[in-house]
Structures are given as structure tokens and as C-alpha cells.
Amino acid sequence: MARKSYVQINGVLYDKSEPLPEGVSSVVSLPTVHGDLPDFISPIDGKLYSGRAGLRDHCARHDVVPTADLAGLPPKRANNEYVPDRAAIRESLRRQFYK
């Protein structure tokens, strides 16, 4: 008698020698390991920061966020409510030209 082999998906055992039933996916999500970030020179203070800890330190020190964290946010709408004060602009130009 041959040995049977099973795979467990979401707590249910399935025989490896048979195809999976309809609607059952064999794709498994596993944790991933990412390498450290490369060193970078801050455009704010010109210092060298290294790795993720350096990035966290830089962000905390200067109260900024990395641009990668902003991905997926909706774009900021333009301020269309601004209406120039044409009378003030004319008066300012008149004062400059006719001193």
C-alpha cells in the first residue's frame, strides 16, 4: 500500500495526487524579507543617513514623511476659490509707475 500525501489549505486537508476542487486556490501568502535601504544624503540638512533606522530618524527630526508613504493618496485639489483683487493690483501698479 502506497503512502498518501496531503496538503493543508485554510485548515482543510487535500490529497496531493488529486486536483484541487473548484474555488480552492493553492496560492499561499507568506511573509517577505526586504533588504535595507541604501544610504542617502538629506536634502534638508546635508547629513548622511543609513538604512531604515536612518530614514526614521531623519523623518522624526525634520517632521517629514517619505514620498513613498504618500503613494495612493488622492491628489490635492487646486484652490479655485482665489479671486485676485484687481483694484488693489491696479493701485499697486499705479503707485510704482507714478511716484
As given in the structure block, the three cell numbers for residue 36 are 535595507
User: Could you give the angle at the alpha carbon of 6 between the alpha carbons of 4 and 8, nearest 5°?
Assistant: 165
The β-bridge relationship of strands 12-15 and 40-41 is: unpaired
User: Could you give the angle at the alpha carbon of 32 between the alpha carbons of 5 and 20, nearest 5°?
Assistant: 30
| Structure confidence at residue 3 (pLDDT) | 84
| Structure confidence at residue 54 (pLDDT) | 94
pLDDT in tens, 4-32: 888 888 888 888 888 888 888 767 677 88
| Structure confidence at residue 79 (pLDDT) | 73
In whole angstroms, what is the distance from residue 27 CA to residue 11 CA? Answer: 14
Residue 71 contacts residue 56 (beta carbons within 8 Å) = no
| Structure confidence at residue 16 (pLDDT) | 87
pLDDT band at 90 (very low <50, low <70, confident <90, very high): very high
| Structure confidence at residue 78 (pLDDT) | 76
